[in-house]
Amino acid sequence: MNFFKKLKVEVVVEDEKVNSVIDAIAEAAKTGEIGDGKIFITSIDSVVRIRTGDKDEEAL
């Protein structure tokens, strides 16, 4: 049985940039072969930068 190496990339972007980021990742990753991967889209409710205490957009 052959196993494929896996790579996980996590990207957080503003809502209005989601589609362009999806398109860019899909175009760069597509080979047409098994193992090209999947893109999962989920919401981030909140983020906090530990060092400064910045929250949400200021933390990005």
pLDDT tens by residue, 1-35: 788 788 899 999 989 999 999 999 999 999 998 88
**6 lies in some domain:** no
Sequence-distant (≥ 6) Cβ neighbours of residue 46 within 8 angstroms = 55, 56
The set of residues, in sequence order, having a beta carbon less than 8 Å from that of 41 and lying 6+ positions away, is 18, 22
Does position 51 have pLDDT exceeding 90, yes or no? yes
pLDDT at 49 (0 to 100): 96
User: Is 26 within 8 Å of 57 (Cβ atoms)?
Assistant: no
Report if residue 3 sits inside a domain: no
pTM over 0.85: no
38 in any annotated domain: yes
Residue 42 lies in a domain: yes
Query: Is 24 domain-assigned?
Result: yes
Q: What is the pLDDT at residue 52?
A: 97
Q: How many distinct structural domains can be found in the chain?
A: 1
Looking at residue 54, its pLDDT comes to 97
Q: Which residues contact 9 (CB under 8 A, 6 or more apart)?
A: 25
The pLDDT score that the predictor gives to residue 60 is: 80
AA letter at 15: D
Is 51 domain-assigned? yes
Domain assignment of residue 37, given as a range: 15-59
Would you give the distance in Å from CA 40 to the centre of its chain? 8
